[in-house]
Structure 1
């Protein structure tokens, strides 16, 4: 059957292993084309498929997905990273700390384990882009699934301070309080004086839709500041365009996914020798 798949240049056969990315909307996600292209390149008989699942249908979708024997894993994007926790029998230590997951894998015994690599990917992307975190004053806008992950990851770095803000004030305060319990950095909730900020990060969905306003103003940021966004499409959000116009260094959202891919691939059990973050991905 595999020989037939190759001879017909078909992407699937009856032995194909399936991975899904679940979100709503999913039209903007890059994971299906990038992961599936890399599976083909390295001879892995697998596909990454998009699943547009609303919040009200998420539980039913997960029950069905986990019942399909050739489904090996899933990736979660907005708005499912918190609800996905309920569908993991086991959690990595990192996921337990963050309180949300963006990965779920089927273990050999049939149990499902969750992890969250958003923050690790974001951090790896910053380092690759030459952004220095040591001693930095950081502003994090958005305390949802990806924001929490980035916040907790930043806490483990040698930053000077972290200020978090969210439209949901209770979510904002809860994240600040929980990080402050274990962090040696100054942790605050609210909107800081932007003149003191070295790295400003948008971890909210503001900027995803055409016509969105800016999640925050870049006008008062110092000339050396870095402005980062987690939104992958459009590549250059209104926030990053505004920062670029001021001559500030910008960090695109696609860096997070590109640099999280090798971490996620390892979690799913694929060889480290695969070039999951090769130069070709940086061109997307």
Structure 2
């Protein structure tokens, strides 16, 4: 009897071991399946992201193509209006702004700079001081304007650098000017450039934020003007009058443009790029040159 009991006991232990092994194999197989599924999902997300990025770049190239369109009645107008089209079932939105419509940090006079800061709520005295500091930053001399700042002022305030005493090379360089913090910079960024090459605004392409820097133009007037301008589709047409006879021409733009292109896939995954380009071929045979590039994407 004892041998039979022992045999049954061994069978029971063996059965428990088999069940445990089966359970362990099930867990391992499930882990592999979950890992494989996770990798598949991640691969699909990565593939979609790359696809969206390439489609956004296609939007930029389409914008360049339309800007070179010789027909003024169908050429895309670079005044910030949105253009939309589809490609590979993705929705692509493109906005183009001629840089001549923005305030050039290197050439804008005091009145325009003060108006720029005043338009975002900066008090007049402080706006005047910021204008002086910008002019001291870009001019070649060491003479300090009334509320400006040169090297000694920067070092005394704890900056590791002095005034540049040379033109701005990029828009973000403005953050190095005394008194310009990131919050203020973000408010005025849509209105400023270093690429227009002119001291005034081309009203035909100026964004709302730049128009508000003009004396006597408030937010509502600027928005109304932009909306009226967006109703014009022929570059040969006359523009509306802004104030006191001020107007502009859609034919008098530059060759430098800021382009925002966003591609959204059917699953709502998207990618966006914000670039500044200059028309004109380069050594690689491209019809334009990229002089600034910034991209964004959902993750």
By the TM > 0.5 criterion, same fold? no
Higher relative contact order (CA 8 A, sep 6+): 2
Q: What TM-score do the two structures reach when normalised by structure 2?
A: 0.25
Which has more helix, going by share of residues?
Answer: 2
Q: What TM-score do the two structures reach when normalised by structure 1?
A: 0.26
Query: Which has the larger Rg?
Result: 2
